[in-house]
Structure 1
Amino acid sequence: MKDRYTDDPKAGYGEEVVGGYGAGAPATYHDVDVFGHEEGHQIVYKTLSWKLVAVLMIAEIVSNGMLSLPQSLAVVGIVPGVILIVFLGIFATYTSWLLVQFKLRHPEVHSMGDAGFILFGAPGRELLAFGTVVFAVFATGGQLLAGQIALSFLSDGKLCLMLYTGIFAIPTLLCSFPRTLDRLSWLSIPSVISILVAGIVGMIGAGLHPTPDRHIDIARSSSFYEAFFSITNPVFAYAGHFMFFILISEMKRPQDAMKAAYVLQGFATTFYAVFAIVMYVYLGPTVASPAFSSLETKWAKAAYGIAIPNFLLAGAIYSHTAAKLIFTRFFRHSRHLYSHTVAGWSTWTLLILLMNAAAFILAVAVPIFSYLIGIAASLFAAWYTYGIAGAFWLHDSYHDGDGVRTWKRKWAQTTLSVLTFAAGAFICVAGTYVTVRGIVEAYRSGSVGSPFAC
């Protein structure tokens, strides 16, 4: 595959010279990316270092999703469960590399919608952009539910659950309001610390108050439905790639993005594996999801209380992402994107309110909302995190290389890319199937509540 751009010491702070963008002098990365050169702009987006991007990624991905991992080990056994967590971490690192390479070769890509346009034209842009917004809103709602559980535990359930959700939604809304991710990155530092400390507190609590008469299964046999339903927990615990393009677009040096991805996946995989093993070993096969709910009361309150900043910031990042995609689509190459205009701020405020309001309404009004999150993750996040990354490499190697001859010459990478795409398809179909079946069984058992219930 031919290089689209090379380093140019005259291009400023590590910019690259990009070939193939028209006649005349070659363009630099920052000539063609979504925010362009920002000299004189009132609102400057490209300020993130790779370290702050790593913090944002960890705050977004390592959140309440990890609390379901011990239960996955309880269903399939400790050895298959840990192998799966580690494998998915390695797999997510590989797909991160594919996404970063695609972004560097296509600086104009700001979101999955832009990437969909390159791959599939206008229909691809609309579908992938729609999926990004839907999943981000659903993920925000998931964080609101996590905050609801935490606040309910801390107050011994003295208030209506809908009130807890509303109370938690207010700071989530306020934290999602900054126009640039740089502001959120600094807020994400205490978020990362909180989920790390909460996990440690949870493991200590489990060790001091283990479940009596527990047993540990090395491996367990179960039906496909039970096994895959539990497997979706670790699969979607890594499902944060849908906002990687948006994060990289606000970096000072996009070519450092893989450093952030390595930190993210290294931290997430290690922390997930240790947390899942310790919680399962001490709490046994009856461990709940979320796992903190299986702890002795005071330890559960401590763990939930410490984790609240992470639940809040993760929700804010998701709703910010949904608003940012639409806002950038509206005002791309417009002064409203980078200036303090009435139209710009009015639109941004409206989008932030709409995204957070939609998440809140879904969380409190839809009794099967937690299942809908699983469906959204299966339909969209499975592709964004795993499958479509393979299509990115196949596309660029074909169009920028020698077509099929490049695929044949680089047969190993071609095979990996095809398998990656197939894995995304399998997770999408199987994940949707088990989630829909879970909804049917929930209604059949009468465990589905009513809208706006306390």
Structure 2
Amino acid sequence: MSDLKVIKSVASAVVSENGRVLEKLANEDQQDFYHISLEEILYEAKLQRELEKSEEWGEPAPTLPMLNLVKGKLFAKKPQSSSSNSYSSDAVVDEKQTGFEGDDDLVSEPINKSLENANRMVRTASWGSVFYLITTDILGPTSAPYSVSQLGYVPGCLLYLLFGIAAAYTGFLLWGQFLTLDSRKYPLHSFGDVVGRIYGKYTRYGVDCLQTLQLICNVAVITLGNGQGLSQMAKGKGCYTALILVWAIIGMIVGQIKSLQRFGFLANLAIWMNVFVIIATMACVSKQLPNYTAAAGTAGVVKGPVVTHVIVSGAGSEAFQSQLTACMNIVYAYGGAMVFIEFMSEMKRPRDFIKGMACAQLFIFTVYLLYGMIVYHYQGQFVINPANQGISHYGWQTACNVVNLLSAIIAAGLYGNVGIKVFYTSFIQKVFNAPSLNSKKGRFIWTFLVIVYWAVAFVIASAIPQFSYLTGLVGAICILQFTYTFPPIMQFGLDFQIAAMQGDGPYDPVNKVANRVDSWSNLSRWVRAYKVNWFKNTCHIIFFLAALATACLGMYSSGEGFAHSFADGVTTSFTCNSPVA
């Protein structure tokens, strides 16, 4: 009777109102989707999208975006009795209907159904929460003045615009890929899931490794920026590395939050913290002299009159490297694409994601660029990174640092949350058959992983305590790939395979048979796949190669910058001497 017990336990879990039990069902669903045909995945995704159109998925999306966002309407209300009744009716199975206790088919159907319902129950985020989560990235606005100072007014504005348009397009591609491939039966939870559906599990493992690296480097950059801010508040007193460690320890505490939904309120708060820092910084620099001491410590710029340029010109490799590093800092402003899939996977209406992303991109471009231009106008070559630390008045400098530190730790907590989950589900759970993070053992594992994660971030931040070059390197190696390089080649692969199906017979959903007329070992399938959308395919390949070349240039410039910085003695690993004051 073991199979009947499984059915009963699943039914009991589904009708339970405990959300954590439902989330556990979803997280423990470790199905291997790689043996399933793309035709079946596309069929289930199409059914899912039609279902979302017809069902009542909680309260409607906000009609007055900013008014509702200010009120903090981040997550749609969970459906009440009608939803719970539908779940229970789907999952409850009469013992008499099982035939005999060894009938695997009859057992697997209610289990799969319950997992589908569990996947639905954990999707509660609205597009308003997506807006907040995307714009929580503290590194974008604070790096904007530095980027403009290295490029000039015109190149800085144009590059912000071009990178913004490209980021909006790639975000649109990821949104379309999610809608095309995601379903309750075969849900997508991460960027790597999409890559795995298109190019296979081995490619997915490589992307997961890079995503884990980016997230931990993001945490390291934020930890370094916070340590730099705390050192400035202490007027250079105390060991610089120890101050970085303080924020690593705080991150270990904040990182104990497991649910992404619980970051909704904190992300809401972080946005308004960022806005305060932006406004306060612009107001202060317009009335005060630059922070000459901080500029001399971080960039070696000597005291003198403020100089600005429409176009920053300079000969030699050093000027070229600094401008490329500035471009990589601009990339940071649009670096949210890596977690777009995670956000969509928790939305009740994934179709509404485009609204949140569009608002976020528009906010980033408008506010960040104005911030960069205004601060550069008043501080010129004395702009430092992060820009709020260039305020010379100690009182306002400290106030902005405090707010900035709190906002940054929220962003770091979000990155760490996603990064640990990706690492755990992609590697630890599959390789070592570890338990779900929602189990009792999983709680202890999560605590241990958070401590290790932040400890590694501390080592990275202390070993490379040069803020601008570290952000540039992370932008070139990781962020640029997820935002600009991967999405077009992923779209190419998806379009390529879908186009090849146009010559096949109709898909049989009952028997789950894909009636293909040829295989990928035949040249005819390759030719047909490319010819159907040849212009779009060619454009996506060119986009991919251009982004890859830009990433290589960014890595070169950041690497050279590190070499010069260490050679000149400006940067020293695990130092007690603070670069700012």
Same fold (TM over 0.5): yes
Alignment deviations for residues 124-147 of structure 1 (CA, whole Å, 9 cap, x no partner): 122111111111111101111111
Q: 1:361 to 1:159 in 2, by over 3 A?
A: same
Alignment match of 1:420 (pick from 510, 529, 543): 543
| 1:421, distance to aligned residue in structure 2 (A) | 0.8
Per the alignment, residue 377 of structure 1 pairs with 475
Per the alignment, residue 21 of structure 1 pairs with none
Greater Cα offset, 285-294 or 263-272: 285-294
Q: 1:260 to 1:294 in 2, by over 3 A?
A: same
Give SS of 1:221's match.
Answer: coil
Do structure 1's residue 84 and structure 2's residue 159 form an aligned pair?
Answer: yes
Gaps of 5+ in 2: 1-38, 59-104, 106-111, 291-303, 501-525
CA distance in 2, matches of 1:356, 1:37: 35
Do structure 1's residue 320 and structure 2's residue 414 form an aligned pair?
Answer: no
Do structure 1's residue 38 and structure 2's residue 118 form an aligned pair?
Answer: yes
| 1:371, distance to aligned residue in structure 2 (A) | 4.2
Give SS of 2:135's match.
Answer: helix
CA distance in 1, matches of 2:128, 2:391: 34
Amino acid at match of 1:250: E
Asked if the contact 2:278–2:371 (Cα under 8 Å) also holds between the matched residues in 1, the reply is yes
| 1:32, distance to aligned residue in structure 2 (A) | 10
Amino acid at match of 2:308: I
Per the alignment, residue 186 of structure 1 pairs with 265
Do structure 1's residue 116 and structure 2's residue 209 form an aligned pair?
Answer: no
Asked if the contact 1:65–1:233 (Cα under 8 Å) also holds between the matched residues in 2, the reply is yes
Q: 1:79 to 1:369 in 2, by over 3 A?
A: closer
Structure 2 counterparts to residues 9-88 of structure 1, below 5 A: 12-13=55-56, 36-38=116-118, 45-59=122-136, 61=137, 63-88=138-163
Alignment match of 1:429 (pick from 552, 563, 576): 552
Do structure 1's residue 7 and structure 2's residue 130 form an aligned pair?
Answer: no
Give SS of 1:7's match.
Answer: helix
| 1:88, distance to aligned residue in structure 2 (A) | 1.1
Per the alignment, residue 351 of structure 2 pairs with 255
Q: How many residues align?
A: 432
Give the alignment's TM-score, normalised by structure 1: 0.86
Q: 1:156 to 1:242 in 2, by over 3 A?
A: same
| 1:326, distance to aligned residue in structure 2 (A) | 2.5
Alignment match of 2:287 (pick from 183, 189, 208): 208
Give SS of 1:451's match.
Answer: coil
CA distance in 1, matches of 2:535, 2:342: 30
Alignment deviations for residues 235-260 of structure 1 (CA, whole Å, 9 cap, x no partner): 22212211111222122222211111
Asked if the contact 2:170–2:488 (Cα under 8 Å) also holds between the matched residues in 1, the reply is yes
CA distance in 1, matches of 2:229, 2:245: 13
| 1:394, distance to aligned residue in structure 2 (A) | 0.9
Asked if the contact 1:190–1:309 (Cα under 8 Å) also holds between the matched residues in 2, the reply is no
Select the structure of larger CA radius of gyration.
2
Q: Which has the higher contact order (CA 8 A, sep 6+)?
A: 1
| 1:325, distance to aligned residue in structure 2 (A) | 0.9
Do structure 1's residue 438 and structure 2's residue 513 form an aligned pair?
Answer: no
Structure 2 counterparts to residues 17-416 of structure 1, below 5 A: 36-38=116-118, 45-59=122-136, 61=137, 63-107=138-182, 108-210=187-289, 213-222=305-314, 223-298=319-394, 299-329=396-426, 330=428, 337=436, 340-366=438-464, 371=469, 373-402=471-500, 405=528, 407-411=530-534, 413-416=536-539
CA distance in 1, matches of 2:407, 2:200: 37
CA distance in 2, matches of 1:335, 1:260: 35
Q: 1:220 to 1:359 in 2, by over 3 A?
A: same
Amino acid at match of 1:50: W
Per the alignment, residue 19 of structure 1 pairs with none
| 1:57, distance to aligned residue in structure 2 (A) | 1.1
Q: 1:124 to 1:359 in 2, by over 3 A?
A: same
| 1:191, distance to aligned residue in structure 2 (A) | 0.8
CA distance in 1, matches of 2:467, 2:306: 32
Give SS of 2:572's match.
Answer: coil
CA distance in 2, matches of 1:280, 1:94: 29
Gaps of 5+ in 1: 16-23, 25-30
- Quote the RMSD (CA, aligned, Å): 3.0
